[in-house]
Structure 1
């Protein structure tokens, strides 16, 4: 505080020294206060920074008495900002069901798993910002605090980029975020209990392990293997690798298993099952089976009853069919996919021949109109399209015919499959090996069915 000319000028400073004020009082002499007078008063109080000379000039020209006026202002220190980790995946997965277009809620699609691919960026660093020092009106430096750099939350199966500023997945799998301290990628996704409304459907790029059951109506899809410790009901399981059911599957006529490798299950009942390689179980009952290599029924039962089985090479079972002559349809010797491709090609051939016939009829009719000079622009466009369609279909027709010839040759060349019954093969069993068909009409024991030319023979069990 300073007084001049009989208390005409009073200087005060804020506690943080970021502002200085002048208050003018009329003295006994009633002298006017000049700008220089106020500068001297500020200098006495060591006010040297941020002085507002324009305010002082205005104050001197039009003085205001008994009122505090800010005439100097310092600069506050600006602290820096800490660096941050920016996440490129959802760190707060909520158990929220999907709402369908018609407004219904699908509680089976909860989207609880976040799958990532190898090389996918998981998080990046945003740099820390440096602070800016401040200055008081008395010229004292106010030191700012600089921001601290963030640290990448490196966990398992992740890698740091060369510049150290990003974290990416070192393998494909499920990304997991733990309290902002670790980001990891796991190649296996484990469901600790049942697949039900609490988990929703499972879709994962890696392997899935389910410690409980898979309830009816739910779907599990995995790029790797699927292993289920409990029972699978009328659900759908699709795996790029193997499917292992430690107990089995009671499909209720709507259960489906599809594997890019093998399928192993204790029992399979009323299901649709497809494996690219082998299927192994203790019992397969009333199911539709497809596998590219071997179907083997082992264990205490070794039972294959009802349904249809299309197997690439060999079927091995203790008991095939039943003493009640349950219809059981077996096909071996041809990869099921070859037969299916052959059927699709034949169906496409019939459809294209019909379409070409229709195009020919349209072209003939329109040509007659063109010859009579009665072809309108619309009909001219139809004619052009019909000609193009015929050219395209004719070209595709030749391709399909060549495909059929190749598949037909495969069907003729294959057919060396076998069916081995280590105990009984009962009547009611239909056997197809390649293009040969046989109906079992009496009980067969300890034998192998194989193809011999145009016939199916019953040979020794080790045939």
Structure 2
């Protein structure tokens, strides 16, 4: 196809031809130029088209014509022509290298006797022209296979240097941490929280002429700049936790571990359980069904109510008191402190300290139970290994209240836990029975067979669950019967004592070690150990 080039100068047309067809454009195209006013118009026709329009010379006729030229000038002409014919007989390979030396092109001009070169000849010509890197061998073969003439083809490409990779810190936990998170990430002492990924230099590049293009070096970083609280650098490239707690990353990218987790009631709208190796602080009331387990302390900034289970390796403090509804349990290896305790099970390996009153609760303390303020215990069972110190026990209505000092803490703890679990299982059995009865009633009135089959399947599942719960009840009962008390002598060594600072009403049952006394009348202030209790019982007789 003809191409029309227009410009106000012939030089510009020549530049266009060189840009498209190379410096030897005249071997690739035929050009006709005419002028219209101040504008030059060039009609460009590729020579492969011209070749079909203009017949090539007959070599035999040329040879015969030359043989008839006897003169010296004719002989010289004959020699030059033969050289020209030999030159035109073979294809010409034109190599063009880009200014940045990153690309090399080949343009093939056909020969009169051999139209195309071999791929090897093309590669050899490239090497003679200084191209030694990045050969596109498929493209070289394609030139020959598809007979690509007069058209520049990209046959070699250089390689740019690769980008360097800077050193970075790779965190082994989610970086996002908020003041009141919904997903808690915890760690243990010795956990690898982050590692330094070393930098990597870029690889050198090369031009098609083999000239090396230098690359840049990766930037290193100082890992110590990413070390925050409660972490340390190990082996020069690892950030390791020094404590159990919650890891987080600050705005500077530094790794910290905090051993205190602060949440509020909103946290428990999305989840029911929380297990944290450090201290848990709940800034609000704690209501509904939830379970908290802490490797250290638990602090509740408000009331606790509903079915709440708190377990701490340290202390438990409830600033607003507990409404347990016979479903809550507080268990601590340390002390348990609360403003009041109502209908709750508390197990402490230390002291139970209450600021106001205890009502209808079961308390098991390894050391002491102290009730100040109003200082009243009404209903339930209060047990301690060494001391119960209270102002008032019972009430004028004669509510049955058990106080027990000189206990075997392990025995009483396990007994209380078993009873608590038995109550839970019985509640679940009752729910299963109620649900099963409703399903049976529904089964009698529906007619859809598929729905009936689904109800049958549900009833079978509930019955299996019921069997499992009954088996668990029997297992717990057997364990309860098998519990053994430590000797009386071991318990007496603690010198167990009950201190009544104001009044003890009838209906109260006092037990010191194995001696028990049901109070028949109102008692005034006194301190009772085993000897004093035996005297009191003797007076009663």
Normalised by the length of structure 1, the TM-score is 0.72
- Which residue, 502, 509, 512 being the options, matches 1:433? 512
Cα separation, 2, equivalents of 1:76 and 1:432? 90
- Residue of structure 2 in register with 1:392 after alignment: none
Q: Is the 1:333–1:416 contact (alpha carbons within 8 Å) kept by the matching residues of 2?
A: yes
Please, what is the CA RMSD of the aligned residues?
3.7
Give per-residue Cα distances to partners, 1:298-350, cap 9 Å, x unaligned.
Answer: 12x01111100111111111111101111000110223324567999xxxxxx
Cα distance change, pair 79–274 in 1 and its aligned pair in 2 (3 A): same
Counterpart of 1:229 in structure 2 is 301
Partner of 2:367: 293
Work out whether residues 365 and 383 of structure 2, in 8 Å CA contact, stay in contact via their aligned partners in 1: yes
Following superposition, the deviation at residue 181 of structure 1 comes to: 1.1
* Structure 1 residue matching 2:486: 3-state secondary structure: helix
Preserved CA contact (<8 Å) 1:195 1:201:
no
- Alpha-carbon spacing, 1:157–1:264, altered in 2? closer, same or farther (3 Å): same
Equivalent in 271, 278, 301 of residue 206 of structure 1? 278
Paired residue for 2:202, among 131, 141, 145? 131
More helix by share: 2
Q: Is the 8 A contact 1:252 1:269 kept in 2?
A: yes
Describe how 1:362-381 pairs up with structure 2 within 5 A: none
Say whether 1:455 aligns with 2:534. Answer: yes
Choose from 166, 189, 195 the match for 2:238: 166
Aligned to 1:22: 106
3-state SS of 1:219 partner: strand
1:9: how far off? 4.6
Q: Larger deviation: 331-340 or 278-287? A: 331-340
Cα contact 1:339–1:411 (8 A) shared by 2: no
What is the aligned partner in structure 2 of residue 408 from structure 1?
487
Distance 1:166 1:415, change over 3 A: closer
User: Any residues of structure 2 matched to 1:120-269 within 5 Å, and which?
Assistant: 120-149=191-220, 152=223, 153-161=226-234, 163-178=235-250, 181-193=253-265, 196-198=268-270, 200-234=272-306, 235-269=308-342
The change in CA–CA distance for 1:195 and 1:316 in structure 2 (over 3 A counts) is farther
Report the counterpart of residue 167 of structure 2 in structure 1: 83
Task: Measure the CA separation in 2 of the matches of 1:262 and 1:317.
Answer: 17
Count residues with an aligned counterpart: 383
Alignment of 1:387-426 (within 5 A): 407-410=486-489, 413-414=492-493, 416-426=495-505
More displaced stretch, 79-88 vs 201-210? 79-88
Task: Compute the displacement of 1:117 (Å).
Answer: 1.1
Mark the CA change 1:18 to 1:436 in structure 2 (over 3 Å): closer, same or farther.
same
Distance 1:39 1:2 in 2: 20
Partner in structure 2 of residue 387 of structure 1: none
Which piece of structure 1 moves more, 242-251 or 121-130?
121-130
- Note if contact 2:350-2:365 (Cα within 8 Å) is conserved in structure 1: yes
Q: Provide closer, same or farther for how the CA distance between residues 220 and 57 of structure 1 changes in structure 2, counting only shifts above 3 A.
A: closer
Flag the 1:291–1:167 CA change in 2: closer, same or farther, 3 A: same
Q: Quick check: 1:13 aligned with 2:97?
A: yes
Q: Report deviation, 1:179.
A: 5.8
Q: In 2, distance between residues paired with 1:454 and 1:446?
A: 14
Which one of the candidate residues 154, 158, 168 is aligned to 1:70? 154
1:195 to partner: Cα distance: 5.2
Larger Rg: 2
* Alpha-carbon separation, structure 2, partners of 1:216 and 1:61: 81
- Is residue 119 from structure 1 mapped to residue 187 from structure 2 by the alignment? no
Quote the Cα distance in structure 2 between the aligned partners of 1:197 and 1:127: 43
Q: Which runs of 5+ in 1 are unaligned?
A: 95-109, 345-400, 459-463
C-alpha contact 2:324 2:342 (8 A) present in aligned 1: yes
Summarize the Cα distance change of 1:340–1:83 in structure 2 as closer, same or farther, 3 Å threshold: closer
> Taking structure 1 as reference, are residues 10 and 303 closer, same or farther at Cα in structure 2, changes over 3 Å only?
same
Matched, 1:333 2:354: no
Is the 1:206–1:222 Cα contact (8 Å) retained in structure 2? Answer: yes
Q: Which residue of 1 aligns with 2:79?
A: none
Provide TM-score, normalisation by structure 2.
Answer: 0.62
CA distance in 2, matches of 1:5, 1:53: 28
